[in-house]
Amino acid sequence: MDLEFGPSEDESADEDLMNETAAQKRLRLAKNYIDTLQHAGDDEIGYDAEDIDRDNIADRLKQDALEIQGRLHRHLTETFQFPINPETAIKTCRGHNLSATSIAATDNGLYVYSGSKDGSIIKWDLKTGKKLHIFPGGRKNVENFQGHTDHVVCLAVSSDNQFLASGGKDKKINVWSVQDNKWLHCFKQQHKDTITGMSFRKGHNQLYTVSSDRTVKLWNVDELSYIETLFGHQDSITAVDSLAKEHCVSTGGRDRTVRLWKIVEESQLVFRGGGFIRPKKLNKDEPEEPKVVATPGEDGGVVMKEKKDPSFLEGSMDCLAVIDEENFLTGGDSGTISLWNVNKKKAVFSMPLAHGYHTQPLDYTNGEAQPGGGVETPYWITSLASLRYSDMFVSGSWNGTIRVWQIGKNMKNFSLVSTIPMAGVVNDLQLYQPTLSKKTVLVAAVGQEHKLGRWLRIKEGRNGVRIVELSAKSKGEAPEESEDDEEAAKDE
């Protein structure tokens, strides 16, 4: 009996993909995208696929087109119920032995990943908060280990929910399969220092990574290949973020610059921070009450004088959040949050002491106490996250709260809306709406220590992940959307 062995179905499919033309590829990707929209609202996130008709898909396609152009701005902050009830709204996920340093959630709203200083990555069920899988860390300097052998510092998930990327102190970039919970590839001996941030381009599997070696690198995760390196920062790069355009934004730490990298044009825009900023009111409705302190007067008397909030020099720009293709936010060690526009070299608006300040006790020198009082020190901004294409963002520090902010309709200022109790150092945040879902989720990586060092230790903090589901004020309330916020600003 003659047996003929032909190519398998998988091999035939791979060969077809290799031979397809550019037009066939665009058609295939469009069909896959529409199919994803039809099946994204499954029962796991509370929607029935039969309820999603052609009109809904057309609306979503239109919305995505406006987002890519940077013309869609949703005014959502006022639709949420604040303050939240911490006992019912916050889920706590514990599993890391050391501080949680990074967070990344899938766009479909099913999973969230957390990285830690213990070298492990944990996959959680976003809905229930249960632990689904652990990618363990290895011992330091172990070669050919499929994972991390030192602190995990940053995570990113691709927008098609296929890949998870991770980077850390061991200078490696690991790529994992979201569906199969498998290690796929490791990029090593590329970055020369700690990998501090990474971001997937929206709608593509192009990965941007930044490092303390002062470089930005681009990767093609589909082909597991290196693309190019971008130079320009003069100090350790601390964060990177991106959206749909082939651009990325990075913060340069102590060089106090933000750089917008235009990949195709092979150019960069430089935005300079730093300097002293005069304190402002956190909330526009907050009454102005001067602070009065007792100071020694003449003849041993006491004189009451007004005390102004201290101002601090911005020494480092540490975190970043992109709002849309034209606006982004930065935060740093001076406690200042700044709002930027790509058309202006200086910040449009800055909020100093966004998380307040505390008095650091003075140390003893040679066994003798220093003069009474202490050093006034701001709470650094350790993390930022925006609800993309909307007027809402959140910030984290270690003062015991996550703060919720609302951006003005003219994109020229912002004010404090509410606070969410959160003990410990908030090392990373992500605020987003899962695909075709009206619920809004905030996830936070919290630890006792800062992700990049051991400068402080918050004993009250608990290492792990916090999941906060924000509830709307009333059911069925549709968010207000503006197709072009710039026109609205001109009208004002």
Span 38-87, pLDDT tens digits: 565 444 444 455 555 555 666 666 666 666 655 567 888 999 999 999 99
From start to end of 88-224, where are the E strands? 90-93, 100-105, 111-116, 121-125, 131-135, 152-157, 163-168, 173-177, 182-187, 195-200, 206-211, 215-220
Task: Examine the pLDDT at 369 and tell me if it is beyond 50.
Answer: no
Q: Tell how far CA 205 is from the center of its chain.
A: 18
Mean pLDDT of the chain: 82
Half-sphere exposure of 177 (CA within 13 A, CB side): 6
pTM: 0.79
Segment 452-473 mean pLDDT: 91
pLDDT computed for residue 485 by the predictor: 46
Task: Examine the pLDDT at 371 and tell me if it is beyond 50.
Answer: no
Of 157-171, 253-267, 308-322, 468-482, the poorest mean pLDDT is in: 468-482
Task: Examine the pLDDT at 192 and tell me if it is beyond 90.
Answer: yes
CB 462 within 8 A of CB 92: yes
pLDDT computed for residue 178 by the predictor: 95
pLDDT computed for residue 262 by the predictor: 95
What digits encode the pLDDT tens for the residues 388-414? 999 999 999 999 999 999 999 889 999
Selected residue with higher pLDDT from 153 and 435: 153
Cα distances (Å, whole numbers) of residue 225 to 95, 218, 220, 221: 33, 9, 5, 6
Q: Please name every residue paired with 209 in a beta bridge, in sequence order, or none if there are none.
A: 198, 217
3 state DSSP class of 28: helix
Segment 157-178 mean pLDDT: 95
pLDDT computed for residue 140 by the predictor: 87
For 373, the token pair is 């009082």
Segment 254-282 mean pLDDT: 85
Residues ≥6 apart with Cβ < 8 Å to 11: none
What digits encode the pLDDT tens for the residues 281-322? 565 555 555 555 444 555 555 555 555 656 677 889 999 999
